[in-house]
A and B are shown apart, each in its own frame.
Chain A
Amino acid sequence: MKSHRWYTPWLLLAPPVIWVLVFSLWPFINTVVLSFTDARPLQPVNPVGFAHYERLLTDEQFRYALITCLIYVVVCVPLLTIVPLLLALLVEKNIPGIALFRTTYYFPVIASVVVVALIWGWLFDSRGIINQALEWMGVVDQPVAFLVDRWWLLATAILLTVWKGIGYYMVVYLAALGNVGKELHEAAMLDGAGAVRRFISVTIPSVRGAILLISVLVAVSAMRVFTELDILSNGTGGPGGYDMSIVMLIRQVGSGLNGNLGYAAAISVALFLLTLVPLVAIALLNREKKAKVPA
């Protein structure tokens, strides 16, 4: 029987390897290299060493973008990790009509984020329905500057992200909860554990994997937030650019016929490193917890 030729495995591997090299590794290397140059469209490229990285340390715009993204992470991670779990517990039971609630909670996930952000822009406008309602109820005398004030704009964008993400993560938790054995809850009940105690001691440890996964996903996407802030601030990042995210800053710096591609690449590399932080932290946390589980 004739054996396979030596290159057969390489041929089989070639399509995915070429794909990864061309569409992942090459752009990544290109971005890193560009970050050490003064590249601009149509201009000769010269190396500038670490100048762009030094500029990052003092760049006011980058500082604001970083603060915005970190606040996004700090607020979104707990909200989008805990609220969908509670919601999943509510809709987990197979009672008549529950499918309607599950579907309703999932609706925001289906809607395009661009369309949703535009609608939220109208709702929170100074003459939008939210301000009109607040004025009608006598809560405020003047419209609240939801889309102009630094903190209100950030809060509105975070609310949108949370509202839109809850349904998706709820479905992930529903799948995880489906794998939790009923006998664990029954045993805990026999031991006298109440609902809260069972939630803490049975449910949470059982869906720990899902919690970690969701935390990582939310943290990474919060660091890379773009659409919500871009549309609600009309692409400006709000007064002073205080509500600009890092991705928005990359676009502002790097786009156009005079885009500073080198500096935009340096910000991209910084964003890459920043997104690694929650990944590594959660991976370490996971390993630590596993190590503590008794044999």
Chain B
Amino acid sequence: MKIRSTLAIGVAAAAALALTACTGGTAGGGAAGPVHTSGELSGTVQFQTWSLKNEKFTPYFEDLITAFEEEHPDVQVDWIDQPGDGYQDKILSQANSNTLPDVLNLPPDIAFPLVTAGKLLDLDKADPSLADKYNEGGWEAYSQFSGVEGTYGLPWYLGSDESWWNMQQLEPYGVAEESLPTTSDGWLDLAKQVAADSAGKVKVVSSMPGVDTFVSAGIKIMDDDSTFVFNTPEAVEIVQKYADAYKAGAMPAESLTGSYGGNAEMYLQGKVAYATGGSGFAGDLRTKAPTLLEHTVATPRPGTPPLFVQGLNVSADSKNKAAALAFAEFATNQENQVAFTKLAVGFAPGTAEGTDEVMDAVSSNLDPAQVKAMQVMFGALKDAKATPFQWTGAMTDYLNQQMALAIRGDATAEETLDKIVQHANDNRIDK
């Protein structure tokens, strides 16, 4: 009897502890208030990057930290770098244990749960003069968290996608560089024509439609209440066109289980004559498939180009907010961002100005294909739009699974989109 009651108490205690085990944050929006960085700063600032401690970038960061410490002799910056894999899990564990670094690198989608848990500093309130200094799209990406006011990251470096065409595979079927399609419809029509002419040997569609496809087509992804609403007749039409292209032999079977990076990989292997990728893809071509590079042409992506944003954020729990914010501003000022993106070839600075400076500096050291790719991407940035950060990785997984059925013709485009939207709304991050 005694054993049974002891066991019951033990289990109850364990249950109570378990129930509290994963509550790491305070509910609600981020901490706010002005933070003055102009006075004397002192103390230690922990600065965390994401897979950037290597031969290429380490000297840059060491110089950056030295320069900041010279400006603020009483501040010491401790730089830590996290490996590329498992970054989200690492952030989660840091946030749960209240050990987030003072300044850290988070893209908007990873930042969002931390913002809702009140773990990041509202930078707009901390220093209202910042907004004008940064790229508008990049600033917006950290300012439009549903249900939370404020801005929670400083745009650091930006990227976008463009279209890559293998002209060696396409020219035999009458496709010339000058006549490459500039619209999604034109591209899908071309894909079907080339597939028919080549008896399915040359494939021009390398991935399934995703949310970025719908963003690119100007379809509204969410309403004002942050409810997903992209199951529109226009989206149905797009999915049906992809299904028709698959049926015509214009898509490799592997694209139905492929990841975002998979389409570029298939291009490198010569399995497809078209891919999407950032301007850095020219560098991949040069090292992994140099013979392909000379036959490759980069053009702007049809429709609204996607915007990929990386930023620096300040922990709301930082014991040294003033020095942390000062360092985040210093690392993301125009001079330092330009210096960084000269090394991170293929990316643009997240500041309002500076892209021309980067272009001028790097163009003499790059081959013409890469220069052209960068010009195309930098030109696209002004119109580029980020995928809503409420769209999570798990939603993408579900979308890919269901979309594959629609493309294969195992489900209708309408049913598929309804299911995807229903699933996304059932699993909304802000609910």
- By a CB distance below 8 angstroms, the chain A residues around B92 are 41-42, 257
Q: Which residue of the partner chain, among A45, A127, A147, contacts B19 with CB atoms under 8 Å?
A: A45
Q: Tell me whether A258 is interfacial, beta carbon within 8 Å.
A: yes
Give bound CA distance, A234 to B256, whole Å.
10
Asked if B429 and A258 sit within 8 Å, CB to CB, the answer is yes
Asked if B404 and A240 sit within 8 Å, CB to CB, the answer is yes
Q: Which residue of the partner chain, among B257, B402, B427, contacts A148 with CB atoms under 8 Å?
A: B257
Asked if A29 and B394 sit within 8 Å, CB to CB, the answer is no
Segment 23-54 of A: residues with Cβ below 8 Å from B: 26, 29-30, 33-34, 37, 39-45, 47
Give the contact stretch, choosing among B69-77, B111-119, B148-156, B340-348: B111-119
- By a CB distance below 8 angstroms, the chain A residues around B353 are none
Give bound CA distance, A33 to B392, whole Å.
26
Give bound CA distance, A34 to B21, whole Å.
9
- Supposing A42-B114, A236-B400, A241-B401 touch, asked if A30 and B427 sit within 8 A by C-beta, the answer is no
Q: Which of A44, A145, A258 gathers most chain B CB within 10 Å?
A: A258
Give bound CA distance, A152 to B7, whole Å.
49
Asked if A42 and B253 sit within 8 Å, CB to CB, the answer is no
Give bound CA distance, A237 to B399, whole Å.
12
Asked if B394 and A258 sit within 8 Å, CB to CB, the answer is yes
Give bound CA distance, A125 to B256, whole Å.
12
Minimal Cβ-Cβ distance residue in B for A238? B257
The interface bits of chain B over 12-42 (1 if a CB of A lies within 8 angstroms of the residue's CB, else 0) are 0011001111111101000000000000000
Q: Tell me whether B11 is interfacial, beta carbon within 8 Å.
A: yes
Residues of B within 8 A of A (CB): 11, 14-15, 18-25, 27, 88-89, 91-92, 95-96, 110, 112-114, 116-117, 119, 200, 252-254, 256-259, 262, 271, 392-394, 397-398, 400-402, 404-405, 408, 410-411, 427, 429
- By a CB distance below 8 angstroms, the chain A residues around B397 are 235-236, 252
- By a CB distance below 8 angstroms, the chain A residues around B271 are 127
Asked if B18 and A29 sit within 8 Å, CB to CB, the answer is yes
Give bound CA distance, A234 to B252, whole Å.
15
Q: What is the CB-to-nearest-CB distance from A82 to chain B, in angstroms, rounded to a whole number?
A: 32
Minimal Cβ-Cβ distance residue in B for A143? B253
A-B contact pairs, 6 of them (CB 8 A): A29-B14, A34-B21, A41-B113, A42-B96, A255-B393, A257-B110
Q: Which residue of the partner chain, among A43, A45, A148, A261, contacts B256 with CB atoms under 8 Å?
A: A148
Q: Which residue of the partner chain, among A30, A145, A257, contacts B18 with CB atoms under 8 Å?
A: A30
Asked if B394 and A252 sit within 8 Å, CB to CB, the answer is yes
Q: Which residue of the partner chain, among B200, B253, B392, B429, contacts A145 with CB atoms under 8 Å?
A: B253
Q: Which residue of the partner chain, among B27, B394, B410, contacts A239 with CB atoms under 8 Å?
A: B410
Asked if B23 and A43 sit within 8 Å, CB to CB, the answer is yes
Provide the main secondary structure of the chain A interface. Answer: loop
Top 7 closest pairs, chain A to chain B, by CB: A239-B404, A241-B401, A42-B117, A33-B18, A30-B18, A257-B113, A42-B25
Minimal Cβ-Cβ distance residue in B for A29? B14
Asked if A45 and B405 sit within 8 Å, CB to CB, the answer is no
How many A-B pairs with Cβ below 8 Å? 125
Q: Tell me whether A221 is interfacial, beta carbon within 8 Å.
A: no
Minimal Cβ-Cβ distance residue in A for B10? A29
- By a CB distance below 8 angstroms, the chain B residues around A126 are 252-254
Instruction: For chain A, give the interface size range.
Output: 35 or more
- By a CB distance below 8 angstroms, the chain B residues around A26 are 14
Q: Which residue of the partner chain, among A42, A241, A256, A259, contacts B398 with CB atoms under 8 Å?
A: A241
- By a CB distance below 8 angstroms, the chain A residues around B110 are 257
Q: Tell me whether A161 is interfacial, beta carbon within 8 Å.
A: no
Q: What is the CB-to-nearest-CB distance from B117 to chain A, in angstroms, rounded to a whole number?
A: 4
Q: Which residue of the partner chain, among B113, B257, B394, contacts A147 with CB atoms under 8 Å?
A: B257
Asked if A259 and B254 sit within 8 Å, CB to CB, the answer is no
Give bound CA distance, A275 to B46, whole Å.
46
Asked if B22 and A45 sit within 8 Å, CB to CB, the answer is yes
- Supposing A33-B15, A41-B113 touch, asked if A256 and B20 sit within 8 A by C-beta, the answer is no
Give bound CA distance, A53 to B411, whole Å.
28
If A45-B19, A148-B256, A240-B402 are given as contacts, then 20 extra A-B residue pairs at C-beta distance below 8 Å, sorted by A number, are A26-B14, A29-B11, A34-B22, A40-B22, A41-B92, A42-B95, A42-B96, A43-B27, A45-B20, A125-B254, A147-B254, A234-B262, A238-B257, A238-B404, A255-B394, A256-B393, A257-B92, A257-B113, A258-B392, A259-B394
Give bound CA distance, A252 to B92, whole Å.
16
- By a CB distance below 8 angstroms, the chain B residues around A235 are 259, 397
Q: Which of B110, B253, B429 gathers most chain A CB within 10 Å?
A: B253
Q: What is the CB-to-nearest-CB distance from A187 to chain B, in angstroms, rounded to a whole number?
A: 53
Give bound CA distance, A252 to B88, whole Å.
14
Q: Tell me whether A172 is interfacial, beta carbon within 8 Å.
A: no
Asked if A44 and B259 sit within 8 Å, CB to CB, the answer is no
Give bound CA distance, A156 to B424, whole Å.
31
- By a CB distance below 8 angstroms, the chain A residues around B393 are 255-256
Give bound CA distance, A221 to B404, whole Å.
29
Give bound CA distance, A147 to B253, whole Å.
8
Q: Tell me whether A68 is interfacial, beta carbon within 8 Å.
A: no
Minimal Cβ-Cβ distance residue in B for A150? B410
Q: Which residue of the partner chain, among B14, B22, B258, B404, contacts A261 with CB atoms under 8 Å?
A: B22
- By a CB distance below 8 angstroms, the chain A residues around B392 are 256-258
Q: What is the CB-to-nearest-CB distance from B406 to chain A, in angstroms, rounded to a whole number?
A: 9
- Supposing A42-B92, A257-B91 touch, asked if A233 and B257 sit within 8 A by C-beta, the answer is yes
Q: Tell me whether A81 is interfacial, beta carbon within 8 Å.
A: no
- By a CB distance below 8 angstroms, the chain B residues around A253 are 394
Asked if B257 and A258 sit within 8 Å, CB to CB, the answer is no
Give bound CA distance, A235 to B405, whole Å.
16
The interface bits of chain A over 241-262 (1 if a CB of B lies within 8 angstroms of the residue's CB, else 0) are 1001000000011011111110
